[in-house]
Chain A
């Protein structure tokens, strides 16, 4: 897990605030992903990036945006947070075709 780090680990914010969650990896992987985890819903893909210039929407991208600043960094932004974005957010990385996805430790976000 130390190869994929997420900051912050916990965040409480208010409705309407802009929030950025950051992910960094030292694995040298080219692919990075953002998921959210909700009880009873499993993991759902928000955005994914196969390289710095290739960013794609996932299953639930509405209300989120991302930035791939470098191969090692992938940030997720909530432009105007709302309470139903309260969830556990995970970043993951993988390399090449069919590579195993390695997950970070997660960020618990609460929107009041």
Chain B
């Protein structure tokens, strides 16, 4: 049972474009939503995270948009670069991240020059 559904599975975007990765969740007790970035041969690393008291969070070129009523959140990458090519995972947790993380299935993003 997948509690966090992620789409698309793969995405190809031209340099400078804005890739958007979407996630949806069922459990309304989730209250912490991080995104992880994984490069080939490496472990995932935290990219950005949001809590449901805000609708948007920006860190550099990365933005999370959060829609509590729709139980959806998404990652936008502004001015995408070939170095952003990686696999991205959304995740969710309860108790402000104090509980275990439930991950989405991942999106393989390729930015072409």
A70 interface residue, CB < 8 Å from B?
no
Q: Is B9 an interface residue (CB 8 A)?
A: yes
- Provide the residues of chain B in CB contact with A42, threshold 8 Å: 6, 89, 103-106
Q: Say yes or no: A1-B42 contact (C-beta < 8 A), given A43-B89, A97-B97.
A: yes
Q: Does B60 contact A (CB under 8 A)?
A: no
Q: Which residues of A contact B32 (CB under 8 A)?
A: 98
For residues 79 through 113 of chain B, which have their beta carbon under 8 Å from a beta carbon of chain A? 89, 95-98, 100-106
Query: A103's contact among B6, B44, B102, by CB below 8 Å, is which?
Result: B44
Q: Is A73 an interface residue (CB 8 A)?
A: no
Number of B residues whose C-beta is below 8 Å from A? 22
Query: Nearest chain A CB to B49's CB is how many angstroms away?
Result: 8
Whether A101 contacts B42 by the Cβ 8 Å rule is no
- Confirm or deny: B54 has a beta carbon within 8 angstroms of a beta carbon on chain A: no
A92→B44 CA distance, assembly (Å): 9
B42 engages A48 (CB within 8 Å): no
Q: Which residues of B contact A4 (CB under 8 A)?
A: 43
Chain A interface (Cβ within 8 Å of chain B)? 1, 4, 33, 40-45, 48, 58-59, 90, 92, 97-106
Q: Which 8 A-B pairs have the closest CB atoms?
A: A103-B43, A98-B97, A42-B105, A43-B103, A97-B98, A42-B103, A100-B46, A98-B96
**8 A-B pairs with C-beta separation under 8 A:** A40-B106, A44-B103, A45-B100, A45-B101, A98-B96, A100-B46, A101-B101, A105-B43
- Known contacts A43-B106, A97-B95, A98-B98; 17 additional CB pairs below 8 A are A4-B43, A40-B9, A40-B105, A40-B106, A41-B105, A42-B104, A43-B89, A43-B103, A44-B103, A45-B101, A48-B100, A90-B44, A98-B32, A98-B96, A101-B101, A103-B45, A106-B42
